[in-house]
Amino acid sequence: MNAPVLDVRNLRIRLPAGGDRAYAVNDVSFTVSPGEVVCLVGESGSGKSVISFSVMGLLAKALEIESGGIALQGENLVGASEARLRALRCTRMGMIFQEPMTALNPVMRCGAQIDEVLREHTDLSASMRKTRVLEMIRQVRLPDPERMYTSFPHQLSGGQRQRVMIAMALILEPALLIADEPTTALDVTTQAQILKLIKEMQQTKGAGVLFITHDFGVVAEIADRVIVLKHGSLVEMGGATEVLMRPQQAYTRMLIDAVPAHDPPARQPIAETEPFALRTVDLAKSYNTISLLGRKRSVAAASEVNIEIRRGQTLGIVGESGSGKSTVARCIARLIDPSEGRVLIGGKDFASARLDQLHAMRRKVQVIFQDPYRSLSPRRTVGASIIEGPMNYGIGREEAMQRARKLLDILRLEPSALDRYPHEFSGGQRQRICIARALAMEPELLIADEAVSALDVSVQAQVLRLLEEIRHSLNLAVLFITHDLRVAAQVCDLVAVMCKGRVVEYGSAMQIFTAPQHEYTRALLDAAPGRHFAFAQAGAAA
Amino acid sequence: MLMYLCRRIAAIVPVVLIVGVLVFLMLRLTPGDPAAVIAGNSASSEDIAQIRSQLGLDQPIAAQFFIWAGKMVVGDFGESFFYKKTVASLIVDRLEPTLALAVLTIILATVISVPLGALAAYRQGSWVDRVVMGFSVLGFSAPVFVIGYLLIYVFSVKLGWFPVQGYQRLSDGFGGFIYRLILPSITLSIVYIALLARMTRTSVLEVLNEDYVRTARSKGLSSMKVLVRHALRNAAVPIVTVIGVSIALLISGVVVTESVFNIPGLGRLTVDAVLARDYPTVQAVVLLFSLTYVVINLTIDLLYLVLDPRIRY
């Protein structure tokens, strides 16, 4: 076997005093060989990103490598001078990041950003550099290289931006590519393409890849070897199939079990006699702009959306970004005004309700948003956030508090949480608080807009279970918006697949996931990472 | 874009109109009679009445306004009550010193404060940062005339490097022109340096945490290149906004400095004209100032387009 590209030995990185643990990374050793993809897997806070940044020499100032070694092609990087590290970056180790939206400089043209690498590390002339950059843009399969060269990042899609990042990281053919959750922010179909590209580039250039991810689907898709981390320590390391199929450690098994299975479980059908909690009739939302010459341009974000949810039923809307699924959710909650159509909630039209009528109706529809870190006011106690809604509808303070305590109990949070502030809670706890806040209004329809997307798999599984319990016990109608097909398969009775503002397929979860009719649905299902890997079953069998 | 520009330019009209009405009314509603000032202490009330009718001040206010507004529309600013010259020539005379002082001040302030602020941000918490921020507080709190007299005392009276007061026209030689402007510009720029350095530090600090700065570092760029090429450019929008507002404030705010250094600029003209109840001059100068404000604001908004390609009007 070849000498490793990257050799990390007994790496220990200290956290600043006052953290929840002493070390961000504690005694971790592993290697990456040329032409190999090694996945670092773990939940948030496991130290996987810290390791990647320490290799690049980009650790935050507060973090310090206490002991251990990092060798890149035999050269020790711990304690290397800043100048030496700079010279190595992009020439022998390149890195791509999670957020292609923010990882590129918004005021610099893409070509110039790739070119900067050549300007910094080579003596090539301007015209030679340009040829090289254009060639690289072509290699990462970006359309119309000349146009890409002069485009600004905001003019490109997320996938295109990530390709630009890859071009930038690989243009000097580094021996090591570090990919820090490079596809997490992308749609499934785009994700599949980017994963393919990384694999391809790695094979043609023979680079070693250190791939950081939290997603076992992605691991199944791309990894040669897997390293599982927990709280900064190495839990398990081994060949990809071995770890995925026969995990040795309980923690690894728990993580793999928590990945929702691809096929929907059998669900009890909801009785036809249950009244409709929500019906939309030809719901549409379009945005109009008037151009310079007075030409009207209308962009339809959603059109002809007809969906129905009975009480006690969960309808999932799945689709990629820009498919209009969030627009539909916002129209239903009247956070934005629909342009056309009706939204019938309890028989009354929500879409055309006047502002004074709206107040009374708002209570019936409650939304849980994606980011639990930003959807609670940081300067109010949890209790104040929960009781604000009910009190706004004339319920006394004492009674509202009573209700809040009961809800916290249902959501398995301590009653003392009421007097604490959101920053004292973890992501999963915060999302449960958000659910409590929504339920405190005693809604008839609960809209969960990517409500579990920001959570780790184990926490995600927990929150999903809770949502199921609540739906069952309160006979609640749930509108579940998600881009994650696995999640949708697990919790939905009905599924609507949206593409470019339209519902392209609508039916029971069982039918959509096992016998998709529409071409787009099939493409979506095919693109899901780890599609051919039966997670939940593998875990259960082991 | 073109439509936006037309809309913005059209918006100048109501601004000028409102300012015109306000300044016209305010002058006439404040106590004091220009005729009495012109006639002097020994004049009889008949003399004053005669002067009043000469100046047209015996007419109703509404009539006076329409006469003035009618002339303004065709570009006739009228004649100063006090200086016995046309207001237009008065302003042209006084424009050069004020403009020169403002331009030099803003150049000085920008050139000094932006690097200082960026450096302070880059070395956040270090002694450089603390010194810059300390100076910034000092610069904010020291009144302009105190700084002015202090600088005159040290550099003119004690060291004799610069003249105590005075102004030399550009047409009389560039060297002398700049030489005499140095102390006043430094005086005036202190507060803007303080403001801009602080602003630059804040916005660069914000940008330094952005993902693209990390990307830039992962490319192996030196700190300097990361700071200038990636951070500063992205931090530019708020900085440019403050520079623009500073220019606007400067032009109308040079009164004190012009008095301290005895520079015959617009600021001095305004004060003198107000004291003499020289209605046409005050009206014209105030209108000019408000027009400058509007134009500078428009320029800043257009500059955003250049600085940030994501902004589209």
Residues B271 and B140 in one domain: yes
Q: Which residues of A touch B214 (CB under 8 A)?
A: 58, 97, 103
CB atoms within 10 A of CB A518: 16
Q: Which ranges in B160-210 belong to alpha helices (H)?
A: 174-208
User: Residue B263 corresponds to which tokens in the numbers above?
Assistant: 């520079």
Q: Which residue has the tokens 């072509």?
A: A138
Contact assignment for B219 to A89 by CB distance below 8 Å: yes
Residue B228 maps to a domain: yes
Strands A445-449 and A477-482: parallel
The amino acid that residue A510 corresponds to is M
Q: Which of B3, B218, B230 sits opposite A105 (nearest CB)?
A: B230
Q: Which of B2, B222, B310 sits opposite A106 (nearest CB)?
A: B310
Residue B24 maps to a domain: no
- Alpha carbon dihedral A325, A327, A328, A333, in 10-degree steps, equals 130
Residues B64 and B150 in one domain: no
- Report whether pLDDT(A236) > 90: yes
Q: Nearest 5°: phi and psi at B112?
A: -85, -45
Residues B67 and B108 in one domain: no
- Report whether pLDDT(A530) > 80: no
Residues B64 and B121 in one domain: no
Per the structure, how many domains does chain B have? Answer: 2
Residue B120 maps to a domain: yes
Domain boundary among B44, B76, B108: B76
* pLDDT in the model for residue A538: 43
Residues B116 and B46 in one domain: no
Residue B276 maps to a domain: yes
Contact A25, A51 (CB under 8 A): yes
Residue of A nearest to B237 (CA): A107
Contact assignment for A99 to B211 by CB distance below 8 Å: yes
Contact assignment for A105 to B234 by CB distance below 8 Å: yes
List residues in chain B touching A: CB distance below 8 A: 1-3, 210-212, 214-222, 225, 229-230, 233-234, 307-310
Residues B170 and B106 in one domain: yes
Residues B40 and B94 in one domain: no
Q: What is the CATH number of the domain that holds B277?
A: 1.10.3720.10
Domain boundary among B53, B76, B99: B76
Residues B192 and B281 in one domain: yes
Residues B271 and B129 in one domain: yes
Contact assignment for B219 to A90 by CB distance below 8 Å: yes
- Report whether pLDDT(A1) > 60: no
Domain boundary among B76, B106, B131: B76
Residue B55 is part of which domain span?
34-76
Q: Which of A85, A106, A154 sits opposite B234 (nearest CB)?
A: A106
Contact assignment for B214 to A58 by CB distance below 8 Å: yes
What percent of chain A clears pLDDT 90, i.e. is strictly above it? 41
* Bridge partners, residue A478, by sequence: A314, A446
Shortest alpha-carbon distance between residue A340 and chain B (Å): 28
The answer for residues whose C-beta is within 8 angstroms of residue A301's C-beta and 6 or more apart is A285, A286, A287, A324, A327, A501
Q: The whole model's pTM is what? A: 0.80
Q: Is the ipTM of this structure higher than 0.95?
A: no
Residues B173 and B259 in one domain: yes
Full pLDDT tens readout for chain B, 313 residues: 778 888 888 888 888 889 888 888 888 887 777 777 777 777 778 888 888 887 777 788 888 888 888 887 777 777 787 777 888 888 888 888 888 888 899 999 999 999 999 999 998 888 999 999 999 999 888 888 888 888 888 988 888 888 888 788 878 888 888 888 888 889 889 989 999 999 999 999 999 988 999 999 999 898 889 998 899 989 988 899 889 888 888 876 677 778 778 888 888 888 888 888 888 888 888 888 888 888 888 888 888 888 888 887 7
Residue B142 maps to a domain: yes
Residues B218 and B97 in one domain: yes
Residue B117 maps to a domain: yes
Residue B84 maps to a domain: no
Would you say how long chain A is, in residues?
A: 542
Residue B313 maps to a domain: no
Residues B64 and B172 in one domain: no
* pLDDT in the model for residue B15: 86
Among A530, A512, A407, CA closest to A457: A530
Q: Nearest 5°: phi and psi at A247?
A: -60, 135
